[in-house]
């Protein structure tokens, strides 16, 4: 079983790799937003619509595969082969379903409805790469996948830069916002994801043979375990992505593009929580039979996630306008009394704290085989989000979408907490919580009361150093270490 060092290095490898990916992704956003809010809104919808179907194709198989491999490593190759077969079958069905349904959902936009067929291919390749990476996750070798992902995203940024005919900063696009450019940008994603699959295949092939297998009994068992979690993920994706689709339908492409800039910043912040929770899954799977051990592990994870999330919220609230201008331009800011992307970002960024904890709690329930409970949680969140958006979006616009997202994450957190609290022994460190609060107040003052307020780049470099230094100085060294397992678990 992995220890604290392995989990930490695994999470760090993913974070560093994803940091490169995020930078490249935000560069792509910067380029494409230059074509205008309507163009970017169409581009965003072509990908956002596929996100829902991508989760259907995943069907919860990744998390279950990692758990199975962690519990029975001697069957790793067999597990991968069967998971790969299931995933390929799901991909074919889902790609057809997404392409056909898009012709109805986006009937008035041939650009999007045709583009979804292209993004469907890109999505399929990404999912295949993710399937193979389960081996690397189990072996704590995820740095290979993270590196491949980062490299492919950098290559994609370069290809988008070339297709768009951009010059030097501020990356003003020389080409027009034409259908040919739109489709070329989507095909660029397909080409780069072929590269990604090749890189991940080469890394995984060092440890196991890769070929589709079929063991009927095992596949039925896996499906019984994964489908409840997979359906829960579908519902989760729906309540998180529903805003973008409804905004497009009710408020139009321009509003969708404005909201999309804030969402992209939020998603860039959320990836840390996702990877951290995935890195914790093997450890939590080993602790699932011991409430005390699992409680210590989850508590450690909660405090480390808050350590990361709180300064992100402070920085984004202070520098929301500057961040939007880096990624887009003035047309995406508040104009004529209509709230812009910077207002949306200040509201949405609160969900970073909530979503980090929700990811950890979700994977802790997966470790305990409680996937079915997640169905009810995410169904409640979806119903709440859909109801709030349908009711409030026509009257309050983008603010209604942002507010409903925050409320839904809060609802999910409350339901997950209520389920975990009675069975988990929590071990909070008041000293650590106080240190994080002091650190947030310190960087908040640094950002607003000093010349750093006018220098986003310097604030990004100096703020984390000040915050991390304060926390490190105020809490004992033992707080940073993952607690030991109970003797019965080894």
Taking only the tens place, the pLDDT of each residue in 305-316 is 999 999 999 999
Q: Does 422 map to a domain?
A: yes
Q: Which residue, among 270, 313, 256, has the nearest Cα to 441 in the 3D structure?
A: 313
Mean pLDDT in residue range 473-483: 84
Q: Does 442 map to a domain?
A: no
d(CA 259, CA 153): 23
Cα-flanking dihedrals φ and ψ of residue 338, to 5°? -90, 120
Q: Does 470 map to a domain?
A: no
Spatial contact of 99 and 116, defined as CB atoms under 8 Å apart: yes
Residue 42, both tokens? 């169409």
Range of the structural domain that residue 13 is part of: 4-429+475-480
3-state SS assignment for residue 166 = strand
Question: From residue 358, how far is each of 65, 91, 366 by CA, in Å?
Answer: 21, 27, 12
Q: Does 487 map to a domain?
A: no
d(CA 268, CA 270): 6
Residue 429, both tokens? 């460190």
Q: Does 467 map to a domain?
A: no
Spatial contact of 151 and 199, defined as CB atoms under 8 Å apart: yes
Q: Does 453 map to a domain?
A: no
Residue 124, both tokens? 């399929």
pTM of structure:
0.71
Q: What mean pLDDT value characterizes the chain?
A: 83
What pLDDT does residue 354 have? Answer: 94
| Residue partners of 167: CB distance under 8 A and separation at least 6 | 174
Q: Does 438 map to a domain?
A: no
Spatial contact of 431 and 284, defined as CB atoms under 8 Å apart: no
Mean pLDDT in residue range 60-83: 80
Q: Does 253 map to a domain?
A: yes
What pLDDT does residue 422 have? Answer: 78
Pick the more confident residue, 344 or 290: 344
Q: Which residue, among 183, 52, 196, has the nearest Cα to 131 in the 3D structure?
A: 196
Instruction: Say how many domains are in the chain.
Output: 1
Tell me the per-residue pLDDT of 238-281, one tens digit each, with 9 for 90 and over.
Answer: 777 778 778 888 888 788 889 988 988 898 888 778 778 877 87
Tell me the per-residue pLDDT of 154-202, one tens digit each, with 9 for 90 and over.
Answer: 888 888 888 887 544 444 554 566 888 888 889 998 999 999 999 999 9
């Amino acid at each position: 079983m992995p220890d604290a060092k392995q989990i930490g290095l695994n999470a760090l490898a993913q974070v560093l790799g994803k940091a490169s990916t995020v930078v490249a992704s935000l560069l792509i956003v910067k380029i494409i937003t230059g074509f205008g809010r309507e163009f970017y809104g169409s581009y965003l919808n072509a990908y956002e619509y596929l996100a829902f179907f991508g989760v259907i194709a995943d069907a919860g198989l990744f998390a279950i595969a990692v758990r199975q491999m962690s519990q029975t490593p001697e069957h790793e190759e067999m597990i991968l082969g069967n998971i790969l077969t299931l995933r390929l079958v799901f991909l074919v069905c889902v790609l057809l379903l997404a392409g056909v349904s898009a012709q109805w959902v986006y009937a008035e936009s041939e650009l999007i409805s045709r583009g979804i067929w292209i993004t469907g291919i890109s999505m399929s390749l990404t999912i295949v790469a993710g399937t193979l990476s389960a081996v690397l996750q189990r072996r704590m070798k995820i740095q290979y996948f993270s590196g491949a992902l980062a490299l492919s995203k950098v290559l994609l940024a370069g290809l988008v830069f070339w297709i768009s005919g951009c010059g030097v900063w501020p990356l003003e696009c020389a080409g027009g916002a034409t259908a040919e450019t739109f489709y070329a940008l989507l095909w660029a994603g397909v080409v780069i994801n072929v590269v990604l699959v090749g890189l991940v295949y080469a890394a995984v092939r060092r440890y196991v043979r890769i070929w589709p297998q079929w063991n009927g009994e095992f596949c039925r068992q896996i499906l019984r375990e994964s489908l409840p979690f997979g359906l829960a993920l579908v519902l989760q994706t729906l309540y998180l992505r529903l805003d973008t689709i409804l905004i497009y339908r009710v408020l139009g492409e321009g509003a969708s593009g404005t909201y999309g800039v804030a969402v992209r910043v939020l998603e860039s912040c959320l990836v840390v929580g996702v990877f951290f929770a995935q890195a914790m899954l093997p450890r939590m799977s080993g602790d699932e039979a011991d409430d005390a051990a699992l409680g210590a592990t989850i508590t450690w994870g909660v405090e480390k996630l808050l350590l990361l999330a709180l300064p992100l919220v402070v920085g984004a609230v202070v520098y929301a306008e500057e961040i939007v201008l880096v990624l887009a331009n003035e047309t995406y800011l508040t104009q004529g009394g209509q709230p812009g992307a910077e207002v949306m970002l200040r509201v949405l960024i609160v969900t970073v704290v909530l979503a980090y904890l929700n990811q950890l709690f979700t994977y802790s329930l997966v470790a305990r085989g409680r996937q079915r409970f997640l169905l009810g949680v995410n169904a409640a969140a979806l119903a709440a989000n859909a109801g709030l958006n349908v009711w409030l979006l026509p009257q309050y616009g983008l603010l209604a979408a942002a507010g409903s997202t925050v409320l839904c994450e809060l609802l999910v957190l409350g339901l997950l907490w209520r389920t975990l609290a009675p069975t988990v022994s929590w071990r909070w460190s008041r000293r650590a919580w106080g240190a994080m609060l002091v650190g947030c107040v310190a960087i908040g003052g640094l950002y607003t009361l000093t010349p750093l307020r006018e220098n986003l780049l310097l604030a990004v470099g100096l703020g984390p150093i000040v915050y991390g230094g304060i926390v490190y100085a105020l809490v004992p060294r033992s707080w940073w270490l993952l607690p030991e397992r109970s003797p019965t678990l080894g």
